[in-house]
Amino acid sequence: MDPYPINCTEPQLGANNSSPKPLALRLSFEWGGGILWADDAASRDRFDVGAIEDQLPLSQSLRQQLDQLSLWHDTALDWDDPAGPSPWTAEESAQFEVAAQAALQALRLELGPSYSVRYHPL
């Protein structure tokens, strides 16, 4: 179970009715690029649509980690036969998911409580 559930579709106050609800982000790797996306109406109002990783206060090392994961993710697709099976073995798929979960935790730590990040796996 994700400890940071995302269920809202518009900005709401937090439980104490004084602090704004964190901006909702989704970690989701897209073919050819795009890693982080606004995940609710308030976040889309703030960042617009499309990939938003360049708009976030991320360290260079985390940006590099995400870029490497994106490149790795793209090897899961047989670009000569996109409708065909993935060239990844079950083991490589599991290794990617472990690395993606580690990146998710790093994102949550770096971005802090102003953001809520969930992962949408392959």
Let me know if residue 82 belongs to a domain.
Answer: yes
Let me know if residue 4 belongs to a domain.
Answer: no
> Model pTM?
0.82
Which is it for strands 115-119 and 23-27: parallel, antiparallel or unpaired?
parallel
Let me know if residue 95 belongs to a domain.
Answer: yes
Instruction: Write out pLDDT tens, residues 32-63.
Output: 999 999 999 999 999 999 999 999 999 999 99
Instruction: Write out pLDDT tens, residues 12-27.
Output: 445 555 678 999 999 9
Let me know if residue 103 belongs to a domain.
Answer: yes
Let me know if residue 3 belongs to a domain.
Answer: no
Let me know if residue 84 belongs to a domain.
Answer: yes
Let me know if residue 11 belongs to a domain.
Answer: no
User: Structure tokens of 95?
Assistant: 């290794």
- The number of domains in the chain is 1
Q: Which of 77, 72, 98, 99 is nearest to 87 (CA)?
A: 77
Supply the range of the domain harboring residue 75. Answer: 23-119
